[in-house]
Amino acid sequence: MSRLVELEGEGPRKLEPDDIDPEKGDVAICQCGLSEGFPFCDGSHRKTDGEEDGVRYTYEEDGTRRRVERIVHGGE
C-alpha cells in the first residue's frame, strides 16, 4: 500500500516548542500524507484502513479513495 500525495511546500518546516501537544507532551508527524494540518498528524490516517499491500491509492478532497492503476508522466 502506498499513496500519491500532492504537497506544495518547497522547504523544511522547523518545529517549535509550541508544536508540542500540551496534553500528550509529544509531536506526531504525519507519514500518510493525508493530514489537513500537515506536517502534523490529525487522525486522517484512519482513512487508510483497509488499503491492500501492493496497491497504490489516491484520495480525493472529499475523502474518496481510488486505486491508481498506472502513472503516466508527461514528456518534454
Residues that bind ligand FES (CB under 6 A): 30-32, 34-35, 41-45
- Concatenated DSSP letters for 6-67? -----S-----GGGS-TTTSS--B-SSS--TTTTB--SGGGGGTTPPTT-EEEE-TT--EEE
DSSP 29: B
Of 24 and 73, which CB lies nearer to ligand FES in the complex structure? Answer: 24
> Closest approach of Cβ 41 to ligand FES, in Å?
3
Of 26 and 69, which CB lies nearer to ligand FES in the complex structure? Answer: 26
Of 19 and 43, which CB lies nearer to ligand FES in the complex structure? Answer: 43
